[in-house]
């Protein structure tokens, strides 16, 4: 009986060479992972620069493009904001017309109110040669007056009933006044009113404080609202008022 050694010897030779024989099930086995070389100079990396459809940009060119300012026609503009509401700046009152204690050498006794329509000051005479001085607005040209009266009434936030003569005069200028206006911030008599004798004149506040220091009224004496409130608390009905 002959022993066949060739197939056995062939298998031994294959294993000895380190080659694993393929079997029919190898096609379904897991493949070993692909190891990518970390070396950027490896031939397969360098070949990417020449692969179809791949564009490599010079690093210096890219940096310049980033630093280059955008074209004005390509800048995305912000939404246009509506213009801010324009503020009307009123002239400020001269500090000289703010209330202050001053020396006073007049002949009037303490408690008397003296109004200087030339300098536009109101003095409340005090003791020891002192007076409390306020800035006022006085009668414009043609409406100046002088005289001595007593305070006959005091009102807080007074109503306003313009005299018929004033209504007619203003209407001729194209300015139509109401026959009655309730007291309040829109009322030209302001926060307080001190009525002088039987005249139509008053010492009163105003909603136009920037007019203090000028000849601006139809004969009444204007004060800032805060100043007329202060004076209102210091004087009583019966106080003498001298307009000079």
Return all residues near 83 (Cβ < 8 A) that are at least 6 apart: none
Catalytic residue among 133, 192, 204, 222: 204
Helix (H, G, I), strand (E, B) or coil at 227: helix
Return all residues near 155 (Cβ < 8 A) that are at least 6 apart: 183, 192, 193, 195
Reference 215, options 140, 150, 120, 126; nearest CA is: 140
Is residue 223 within 8 A of residue 120, CB to CB? The reply is no
Query: Rounded to an integer, what distance in angstroms lies between the CA atom of residue 135 and that of residue 214?
Result: 9
Neighbours of 158 (CB within 10 A): 22
**Is 206 noted as a catalytic residue in this protein?**
no
**Is 126 noted as a catalytic residue in this protein?**
no
Catalytic residue among 220, 221, 228, 235: 220
Reference 117, options 92, 143, 91, 93; nearest CA is: 143
Neighbours of 86 (CB within 10 A): 6
Q: Give me the active site residues, please.
A: 204, 220
């Amino acid at each position: 009986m002959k022993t066949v050694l060739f197939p056995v010897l062939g298998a031994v030779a294959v294993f000895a060479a380190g080659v694993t024989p393929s079997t029919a099930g190898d096609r379904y086995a897991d493949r070993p992972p692909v190891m990518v070389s970390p070396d950027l100079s490896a031939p397969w990396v360098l070949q990417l620069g020449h692969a179809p459809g791949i564009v490599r940009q010079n690093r210096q060119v890219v940096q310049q493009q980033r630093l280059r300012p955008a074209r004005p026609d390509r800048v995305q503009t912000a939404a246009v904001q509506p213009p801010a509401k324009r503020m009307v700046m009123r002239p400020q009152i001269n500090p000289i017309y703010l209330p202050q204690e001053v020396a006073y050498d007049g002949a009037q006794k303490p408690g008397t109110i003296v109004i200087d329509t030339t300098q536009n000051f109101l003095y409340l005479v005090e003791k020891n040669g002192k007076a409390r001085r306020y800035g006022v607005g006085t009668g414009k040209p043609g409406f100046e007056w002088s005289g001595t009266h007593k305070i006959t009434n005091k009102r807080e936030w007074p109503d306003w009933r313009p005299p018929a003569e004033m209504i007619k005069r203003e209407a001729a200028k194209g300015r139509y006044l109401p026959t009655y206006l309730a007291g309040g911030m829109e009322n030209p008599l302001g926060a307080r009113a001190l009525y002088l004798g039987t005249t139509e004149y008053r010492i009163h506040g105003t909603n136009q404080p920037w007019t203090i220091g000028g000849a601006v009224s139809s004969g009444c004496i204007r004060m800032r609202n805060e100043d007329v409130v202060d004076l209102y608390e210091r004087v009583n009905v019966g106080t003498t008022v001298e307009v000079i």
